[in-house]
Structures are given as structure tokens and as C-alpha cells.
Structure 1
Amino acid sequence: MNNQSTTSFTTEELAEQLKVSKLTIYDLIKKGELRAYRVGRQMRVDAIDLEAYKESTKSGGVSASPIPHTKEQPMDSTNEVNEAFTEEPPPHFPTFATRQVIISGQDMSLDLLASAIEKENIGYRPLRSYQGSLNSLIAMYNGKADIVSTHLFDGDTGEYNIPYIKRILNGHSFIVMNLLARKAGLYVQKGNPKNIRHWRDLQRPSIKMINREIGSGARVLLDEQLRMAGIKGNRIEGYEQIEMNHIAVASKVSNGLADVGIGIEKAAALVDVDFIPLIQEQYDLVIFKRPDNKHLRDSILRTLQGEAFKNEMRAMSGYDLSMTGTILYETP
């Protein structure tokens, strides 16, 4: 018998393996991205389902055919997931006093922020959503996200984020604070055999690229750069081929399935590719200003400005924290 089919993990063990908070594991289970079942009051995930989740993340999609469970109490419905949350509440927060707060975005720094909010124990239970910047802002407008991270470049002004936030959240009261800055640019194969140096090189007939999904900050950056250079995306080979995260894009380049992809420097250090830095991008947080979330806003500002959080960020490297915790824009 395959050992993988008989091995299972608790939520605590999964959080340790994936280097995320336990609340992130709960969120993945609740959204159906990670299959789980209940044994008494404890949730467990089989190793084979953990591997399926990892593979779906690498390929940028959802597993094509989930493997059916044979346990007596499978966890296949939203009601059962909600019941499991009730039976095994996350530590630190009494169930009667908590409110869910959804943090949307893909950078690892947001997992640290979620953990910091949890440790503050101010009555909020952070859950993670992994949508791209533009889609996250739209989700926020529709009431489906509470804290949103954005890195959206506006070619007309040369600014990041504020022009988009003002347009999408028009009529709402909000605050924008800087989380970090990081380098964005192009992934190329080791040694850069195609001598790719700039955005305009993408239109060369010998170049094949791998793109990001519509709504991601990386896709907005690319499309704005192409627009300013007068380059039509549909004339670039591979423009319609997409992946859902930086690691997946860099991996396609590393494996020789594309010559170039767009992303951040940090991912290049994890995958065997070279990186051509082209812009310093601003990565900001957006939070609605409401009387009922003042404690949350104050907590996040304290966290971002505190040395403990910044030291954790420095340990991950690749981030510029010189503006972290600075309020960049605030509606009256």
C-alpha cells in the first residue's frame, strides 16, 4: 500500500509544514482548496490531498479530479466545514468575541501580518485570500475583503496604487499604508541566452513569454509598459499563456518552456533563473475606515511600525522597508 494514502496530518502539522498560520489552513479548508475530514473534534488532511493542493498551486489551477475519501466522516460541504470550525476554534480567540477579517493578496508578508493580528488578540480572526491586486480591490468594493494588498502601476502618472484605489473605491472611506517595496522585472534563463534586457525585447519574434493572469499586479505592470511602448500584447508569443503566481512563472522559464516571464526578484532566488530588475514597485495595504474597525486599523499600524514585524520581514530578505507603516493616503 502507498504510504502516502495512509498518512494524514493535523491542522497544526500542516501549518508547520507549509510555514503559514493555522488560520490560513482553516481558510484553505473552508474554501475547498484543501480537502479535509473530521475525526471526532479534530480535522485531518491526507498526505495525498496535501500533495494535490501543492501541485494545483504550482500549476496555477485547481486539481482536475479530487481523489474521493473513504473515511466515515468526509468533509465535503460548507456546513461540515463550518461545523468543524465551531468544534475546534483557533487558539487565542474566544468564539463569541471574534470577527473574521479577510486579508487578500499573495505576498508572504501577508501571512506574517495575519499572524501578528492573531497574536494581538483584539477580537479578530484573520483569514487569507490569494487573489491578485486588481481582483482584491474589486472584492473589497463588493464587501468580500477587509484588508487588501496592491501593487498596481499606473503608466499615465507613474504612480503605484493610489490612482486605482481612488477609482475603484470611489464613495468609500479608506486608508492606504505602505507595507513594503520590492524589485519587479523579468525572469530569464540562466546566463540570459536571448539577451533580454527590457520590455521592448518581448516583441522580438524569437522570444516566447509566460504571462500572469488578468487582475494581478504583475499583469497590470506588463500591460502598462507595453501600452506606453506602443506594443500590442497579442503580437507577443506566449502572451495568452498564464500562470497564477510568481513561482509558477519563474519555473516555466527555468524549465525552458518560456524564454521570459514577469515577476518579483524574491521568486528568482527560489527558482533557478536570472532576474532583470526594471522597476521598484510599491506594495501597499488598503483598509476601509469605519467606526467598527478602528481597533483593527490601529493594530495594523502598530504592527507595521514595530521593530518585531520588521525584523521578521528582514529575515525573509528582498524587501525595502524604509516606508513600511507610512500612511500614504487617507480619506477624510
Structure 2
Amino acid sequence: MASDVSYTTEEIAKLLKISKLTVYDLIKKGELPSYRVGKQMRVDAADLEAYKQRAKGFASSERSPLAAAELTARFSPSAQTAGARPIVITGQDVSLDILAKHLEKQLPGTRPLRAHVGSMDSLISMYKGEADIVSTHLLDGDSGHYNLPYIRKLLVGTSFMVVNLLSRQAGLYVARGNPLQLRGWADLGRPGIRIVNRERGSGARVLLDEQLRLHGMKADRLLGYEQEQTNHLGVAAQVASGSADVGVGSEKAASLVGGIDFVPLIQEQYDLVVMKTPASLAWLPALLRILRSDAFQQELEAISGYDLSRTGEILYES
């Protein structure tokens, strides 16, 4: 029966001729009802058809692939009436939500929209023209530097700017009281230690994989390495529930989940990347003003765990 048919995110991306980033964002925004079967997200055929009918009503003249946030914007009455241009901001940190609010206030005629995806997928989406401001915190273990080694490789042949948003502590989520005495990266290789991981391409996953490589540990020797969560809170919750002994993430998420402690191990650099195009050059000065403004930084200062000493500093420009 047709009502029994369902699709994976990959199948939907092919059917609609859009990227998986677009599909995931539609699911997160509630435009595509979904459910999980094992590790896989699925969408019923009836729900997909309902979405297509709504899309035809708002964008019957559109035939080319659209960015995730642009698709979402088309279902917003305010965007329709105001004719607002979407500015797609990717990443998961709460500071990006604050940034979006300031951008909307400072840039009449634009509509900042959030896509909650990891660092690597964010950069790939920017290269494809699907995102305007992407956040990234990717450690290069060989150099000890964050972000630029990856950005230069992924955005080769393009003109872009890298601006610091903030720095924050990253480390291990452990059970309250740290009963297993997990103090550093090498402790993850102890026999019997169960970990919970992040998805491929996320900054936390890259951090873990680089530390495993630098410490000579094999990923397939770690219990739970294949068990993935799509955000810091999910990882922290698995540790809090006792389903895992340890996970890697940011300090902020640890403060939001009861029953765990946080072991800081590295100060990670959280940067913004903007591709320099005729469209972005129109609002890039406003973005820099906001990042350097007292109003924006005071809001971030109210959130514990952020180092704002370089916020708004241009780190690289091509």
C-alpha cells in the first residue's frame, strides 16, 4: 500500500533534487514529519506528498535546487509579505541564534535562518552555495590549529573571510564524580570504557578522531565508537543516563544536563566563514559591526564558558 511507503533522507534528496542538508533542515524545522528506524531517519510517502503540495503553492515557478533555509523561508508569511532575502547561518551553538537576532534587527529586508548542521557539512554547503555564514571548529592535529587548514582545502579557488566568533572549552562528559577517573584522551583507550560519539563531519567527531590518531589509538578498539548522536546535548544525555561512560563535547552542554561532570581538555576556536560574493559584500560590514558591538558581546558574556577576547577579529581573508 502507498501509505506503507517511506523514504530515507538520501532518497528524498534525490527525489526532490536537493541536498541532504536541505532535507535535514526541513525535518528539524518540522516541515517534513519524520521518525527514526535504528540510525536512519525516514519520512512517509504521504508526508512527503503533503510537503510537495505546500511547496507548489508557494514556489510553483521554482525548479532549481534551493538551500535549506531558503526552502523554509518560503513557508513563512512574514518572509512572503516582506520579500525578505534569507541569510543562511549554519551551526549549533546558541551564540549563532543571538547573532541571527542581531542581524535581523540591523539588516531590514533580510531574514536570517538557522541550519543546525556540523562544521564539515557547513563548509561543504557553503562551497555548494547553500549557506551564507557558516560556523566551524575543526582541529588539525598536526599543526594544532583550528579551522583554516580545512577551510583552505574545502573552499579552494574561492574568495572568503574567516572571523572569530568565540573560543570555548571542549573536553569529556563523564558521570557525576568521575568514578572512572577519566582525565585525558589516553584514558579513552582503557579496556571496558564505553564512549558515545558524534556524527561524521562534526567538530567534536574531528576532535576525537584527531586525538585518537595523535595518541596512537584505533577507533575500532573503542566500545561504542559507532554509537552516534547529532548534538552535544544528545552525547551528554547518554552519559547522564549511564548508557555510556564518556563523550566529547563543549562545556556549555555539560552545564545544561544534570548528572554529569565536565573534564576540560582543549580551548577550541569557533570561527565564522563568509564567502565573498556580491550579495554577501552588501551585508558583511554589518556582520562585523555586530560581532564587535558591546550589545552583542554583552549578551554572550552572560553565557558562561565563552572567551570573547578575539570576537570580531578577521583571522584570514582571501
Question: TM-score, length-normalised on structure 1?
Answer: 0.77
- 1:99 maps to 2:60: no
Alpha carbons 1:93, 1:125 under 8 Å: kept: no
Residue matched to 2:192? 206
The code of the aligned residue for 2:119 comes to: S
Residue 197 of structure 1 is matched in structure 2 by 183
> Which secondary structure state, in structure 2, belongs to the residue aligned with residue 215 of structure 1?
coil
Conserved 8 A contact 2:100-2:113: yes
State the percentage of identical aligned residues.
Answer: 50
1:146 Cα deviation from its structure 2 partner: 1.1
Where does residue 116 of structure 1 map in the other structure?
102
- Residue 33 of structure 1 is matched in structure 2 by 28
SS of residue paired to 1:269: helix
Q: How far, CA to CA, are the matches of 2:81 and 2:168 in structure 1? A: 33
Cα offset, 1:123, TM superposition:
2.9
Indicate if the aligned counterparts of 1:177 and 1:326 stay in contact, CA closer than 8 A: yes
Alpha-carbon distance change, 81 to 200 in structure 1, aligned in 2, over 3 angstroms? farther
Greater shift in the superposed pair: 271-280 or 85-94: 85-94
Among 295, 301, 313, the alignment partner of 1:308 is 295
Deviation at 1:130, TM superposition (A): 1.0
Shift of 1:312: 1.2
CA distance in 2, matches of 1:143, 1:91: 20
Contact 1:92 1:121 in 2 (8 A): no
Q: TM-score, normalised by structure 2?
A: 0.80
Paired with 1:258 and 1:186, the residues of 2 have a C-alpha distance of 12
Taking a change above 3 Å as real, the CA distance of residues 228 and 295 of structure 1, as seen in their structure-2 partners, is same
Contact 2:74 2:80 survives alignment (8 Å): no
Amino acid in the other structure paired with 2:140: D
Residues 93, 121 of structure 1: 8 Å contact kept: no
Residues 93 and 123 in structure 1, CA contact (< 8 A), matched pair in contact too: no
CA contact (8 A) 1:122 1:295 kept: no
The equivalences for 1:265-304 within 5 A come to 265-272=251-258, 273-304=260-291
Q: CA RMSD in A?
A: 2.9
Q: What are structure 1's unaligned runs of at least 5 residues?
A: 1-26, 38-48
Alignment of 1:54-93 (within 5 A): 62=41, 77=53, 78-80=55-57, 89-90=77-78
* Count of aligned residue pairs for this structure pair: 282
**How far apart are the structure 1 equivalents of 2:228 and 2:202?**
11
Distance in 1 between residues matched to 2:39 and 2:52, nearest whole Å: 22
* 1:216 equivalenced with 2:216 (yes/no): no
What are the ranges of 5 or more consecutive residues in structure 2 without an aligned counterpart? Answer: 1-21, 61-71
Once residues 116 and 300 of structure 2 are traced to their aligned partners in structure 1, the CA distance between those partners, rounded to angstroms, is: 19
**Residue in structure 2 matching 1:138, options 124, 133, 144:** 124
The Cα shift of 1:327 comes to: 0.5
Measure, in 2, the Cα distance between the counterparts of 1:195 and 1:164.
33
